[in-house]
């Protein structure tokens, strides 16, 4: 009898925790990423133009990150197959770059940038091309000026961000806790249910979403669950009136 009571207590405690791939137990709830990982720094191999480089990364807190809500908004728009404006692409890349700066510890983002600078012949060629185009665009009008401006815009995007795409994507995912947080496991149905429970019990939707999340996930869950739940309520009201 006593053994069963102990076993039940242990199982209850384990139910509040999630087992990570490295077999460490992580407490359920909302925590800074370093707390979830159980460390602040870690040496990892990351992709770099198809190859791999060894860097020391730091796991940042949500307060050390840029406006990732804007990043998620742009990603949602991409999923809807809506073409992004040039400014949205720039905003997206700027946020990625800030995430990389927050994550890279050794070498720092600036040190890695300096190591690449001057050695990438393609970048240097494009920078010279931009200078030439800016001079040329002063002498033309109409459609030719429009076409030259588009070429300048493309070249500026190419040269404005020195880290390769695969490197920036991985470092951004590390900064956001992708594959560590349970945020990617959430569904529309779970968020709407959480919103309904929050309305019923006078709480926040995030109070009714079990799992392991970063400290920055809570607001995103509350906002998105409220949006979906409100839309669902509006549909029900509209159907009743028919």
Condensed to tens digits (0 to 9), the pLDDT of residues 124-179 reads 787 788 888 888 888 888 888 888 888 888 877 777 788 888 999 999 999 988 88
pLDDT over 60 at 100, yes or no: yes
| Mean pLDDT in residue range 88-117 | 89
- Say if 175 falls within a structural domain: no
Could you tell me the two tokens for 59? 């796991």
Q: Which long-range contacts (CB under 8 A, 24 or more apart) does 196-205 make?
A: 196/229, 198/225, 199/229, 205/229
- Say if 12 falls within a structural domain: no
pLDDT over 60 at 8, yes or no: no
- Say if 162 falls within a structural domain: no
State the pLDDT at residue 190: 94
Number of structural domains in the chain: 1
pLDDT tens digits, one per residue of 39-67: 899 999 999 888 899 999 999 988 888 88
- Say if 237 falls within a structural domain: yes
- Say if 61 falls within a structural domain: no
- Say if 151 falls within a structural domain: no
Instruction: Decide if 111 contacts 122 (C-beta within 8 A).
Output: no
Q: Which residue has the higher pLDDT, 76 or 208?
A: 208
For residues 208 and 104, what is the distance between their CA atoms, to the nearest angstrom? Answer: 34
Structural domain range at position 229: 182-241
Q: pTM value?
A: 0.69
Q: What is the largest CA-CA distance in the chain?
A: 92
- Say if 191 falls within a structural domain: yes
- Say if 216 falls within a structural domain: yes
């Amino acid at each position: 009898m006593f053994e069963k009571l102990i076993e039940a207590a242990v199982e209850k405690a384990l139910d509040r925790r999630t087992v990570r791939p490295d077999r460490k137990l992580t407490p359920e709830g909302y925590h800074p990423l370093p707390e979830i990982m159980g460390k602040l720094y870690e040496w990892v191999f990351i992709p770099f133009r198809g190859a791999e480089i060894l860097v020391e990364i730091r796991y940042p807190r949500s307060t050390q990150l840029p406006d990732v809500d804007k990043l998620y908004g742009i990603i949602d728009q991409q999923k809807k197959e809506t073409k992004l404006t040039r400014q949205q692409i720039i905003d997206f890349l700027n946020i990625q770059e800030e995430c990389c700066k927050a994550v890279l510890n050794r070498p720092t983002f600036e040190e890695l940038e300096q190591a690449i600078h001057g050695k990438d012949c393609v970048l240097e060629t494009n920078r010279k091309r931009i200078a030439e185009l800016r001079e040329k665009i002063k002498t033309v009008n109409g459609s030719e000026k429009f076409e030259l401006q588009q070429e300048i815009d493309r070249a500026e995007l190419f040269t404005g961000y020195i880290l390769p795409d695969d490197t920036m994507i991985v470092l951004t995912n590390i900064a956001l806790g992708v594959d560590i947080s349970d945020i990617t496991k959430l569904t529309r149905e779970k968020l709407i249910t959480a919103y309904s429970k929050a309305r019923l019990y006078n709480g926040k939707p995030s109070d009714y979403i079990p799992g392991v999340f970063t400290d920055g996930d809570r607001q995103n869950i509350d906002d998105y669950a409220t949006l979906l739940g409100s839309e669902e309520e509006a549909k029900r009201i509209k159907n009743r009136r028919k």
